[in-house]
Amino acid sequence: MPVDPICKRRVPEDTQHFSNYGGKKYCFCSPECKTKFDDLEKSVIRLKRSIGEKERISFGKLRKEIIKPGICTLCGACAASCESITIEDSQPKLVDKCTACGVCYNQCPRTITTEEGLIGKIRNAYAARTGIKDLKGQDGAVVTSMLAYGLEEGLIDCAIVTVKSEEEPWKPVPIVATTYDELIESTGSIYSHSMTLEALMSAVKQGMRSIAFVGTSCNIDAVYKMQKSPYGFLHLFMRANILRLGLFCMDTFHYEGIREFVQSKGMRLEDIESMKIRKGMFEFQTDDELKVYELEELDQYRSSSCKFCTDLAAENADISFGGVGTPKDWTTVLARSGIGYEIFNEAVDSGYIESRLLEENEMKNVLNLAKMKKTQMYSVIRRQNL
């Protein structure tokens, strides 16, 4: 005797209340149960239509990203929303045709399917580069140009930036910059943790009240918490205004580790002019050659905290900057808060920065990298290495 899928009562096969769905007959005890089921069916069809219009995603994607790596929680949402899926041997399995409607993937609590879920809230996304003659940065020198505009216009008293140590080349040293010359010294990325909060507290204690702070996602989180948490120093005692300029970040490495690696390749840190991580490769540029290595070769030197980090795009910043997405010598910019958006666009209007809207394919690259970072903790290989 069939079971009413709504109230779970047994009902006779020849009941007058039934529906055909997905090639199968469902029997009900009453018109109420049938209506409930039909409404549910309509919702699923509507959902399939709305998702299907955007992108075709099949069960294979759910299997590859969630089921195979073992992150499935066996909640049953996928099976509940599709007739072709059942849970067998403690795993969701495809037992019938998949029309690649994407419903199971989008329903799964373990997938991240929205732009906001991957890179946080943004107002606008840009590709930008400096408008200042002869200024060179890590990418488009946009961070430095925005700070230069802030200092020049008196919008900020100082900027917390990171420069290279004079005694130990490529060792990050956070400073309180109040001049354009100090800003120029800070251009470029140093791929080791910088203790930027020390310099920030020093600026606050010196009586600076409008401070621009540049840091990686985790640096930004520290400032954000100090500002927002009921126990935060900046929230409780020091009423400085802090503009948070976040840097996209996939990894940092121990300073001594980078030194050891560079030496093992027959180079000296003092001869390296710039470093860059791009497309899974670590690039070291000296004045006469560019040496490029697989990022994996530096795995043993990676900061342990970075394995647990899921924030590529400095989601708690007022404005975020990265190299991914845009062409060489351009910076990807995500304007988030009102103040971040305004100062960036004022710097553009004043000629400090040149900008255009980020194109769809450029944003796709940002989202792909953000996704890689969000799901890295799930990765079996990474877990084995922990």
Q: Please name which of 251, 332, 325, 264 lies closest in space to residue 295, comparing C-alpha atoms.
A: 251
What is Dmax (Cα atoms) for the chain? Answer: 88
Question: In this structure, what token pair is assigned to residue 302?
Answer: 């990676």
Q: Contacts with ligand SF4 in 126-185 (CB under 6 A)?
A: none
Q: Contacts with ligand SF4 in 241-270 (CB under 6 A)?
A: 249-252
Residue 105 · residue 290 · CB < 8 Å: no
Residue 337 · residue 319 · CB < 8 Å: yes
3-class state of residue 268 by DSSP = coil
Q: Residue with structure tokens 């080349």?
A: 169
Question: In this structure, what token pair is assigned to residue 163?
Answer: 């420069």
| Binding track over 289-328 against ligand SF4, x by CB under 6 A | --------------x-xx--x-------------------
Q: Which stretch binds ligand SF4 (CB under 6 A): 11-19, 106-114, 131-139, 231-239?
A: 106-114
3-class state of residue 339 by DSSP = helix
Which residue, 196 or 316, has its beta carbon nearer to ligand FAD?
Answer: 196
**Could you count the other beta carbons within 10 Å of the beta carbon of residue 132?**
18
Q: Which stretch binds ligand SF4 (CB under 6 A): 84-92, 112-120, 175-183, 228-236?
A: 84-92
100 binds, among ligand FAD, ligand SF4, none (CB under 5 to 8 A by kind): ligand SF4
Give the count of alpha carbons within 13 A of 194, CB side only: 28
Residue 298 · residue 289 · CB < 8 Å: no
In the complex, the smallest distance separating the C-beta of residue 309 from ligand FAD, rounded to whole angstroms, is 11
Residue 200 · residue 213 · CB < 8 Å: yes
Closest residue to ligand FAD in the complex (CB): 137
Instruction: Give the count of residues interacting with ligand SF4 (CB under 6 A).
Output: 41
Residue 332 · residue 362 · CB < 8 Å: yes
Which residue, 96 or 297, has its beta carbon nearer to ligand FAD?
Answer: 297
Residues in the chain: 386
**Could you count the other beta carbons within 10 Å of the beta carbon of residue 370?**
25
The residues, any chain, with a CB within 8 Å of residue 30's CB and separated by 6 or more, are: 17
State yes or no: residue 78 binds ligand SF4 (CB under 6 A): yes
Rule CB under 6 A: choose which of 36, 93, 110, 291 binds ligand SF4: 110
State yes or no: residue 216 binds ligand SF4 (CB under 6 A): yes
Q: Which stretch binds ligand SF4 (CB under 6 A): 12-20, 108-116, 136-144, 151-159?
A: 108-116
State yes or no: residue 27 binds ligand SF4 (CB under 6 A): no
85 binds, among ligand SF4, ligand FAD, none (CB under 5 to 8 A by kind): ligand SF4
Q: Which stretch binds ligand SF4 (CB under 6 A): 71-79, 119-127, 199-207, 277-285?
A: 71-79
209 binds, among ligand SF4, ligand FAD, none (CB under 5 to 8 A by kind): none
Reported for 285-292, long-range contacts at CB under 8 A and 24+ positions apart, including other chains, are: 291/265, 291/267
Residues that bind ligand FAD (CB under 6 A): 137-144, 161-162, 172, 186-192, 194, 196, 214-216, 219, 247-250, 252, 277, 321-324, 331
101 binds, among ligand SF4, ligand FAD, none (CB under 5 to 8 A by kind): ligand SF4
74 binds, among ligand SF4, ligand FAD, none (CB under 5 to 8 A by kind): ligand SF4
377 binds, among ligand FAD, ligand SF4, none (CB under 5 to 8 A by kind): none
Which residue, 106 or 332, has its beta carbon nearer to ligand FAD?
Answer: 332
For the chain, the 3-state helix, strand and coil shares in percent, each to the nearest 5, are: 40, 20, 40
Q: Residue with structure tokens 């799930």?
A: 378
Give the count of alpha carbons within 13 A of 46, CB side only: 6
Which residue, 27 or 146, has its beta carbon nearer to ligand FAD?
Answer: 146
Any bridge partners for residue 247, and if so which? Answer: 216, 321
Which residues of the chain form contacts with ligand SF4 (CB under 6 A)?
58-59, 62, 66-67, 72-78, 81-82, 84-85, 92, 94, 98-104, 107-110, 193, 216-218, 249-252, 303, 305-306, 309
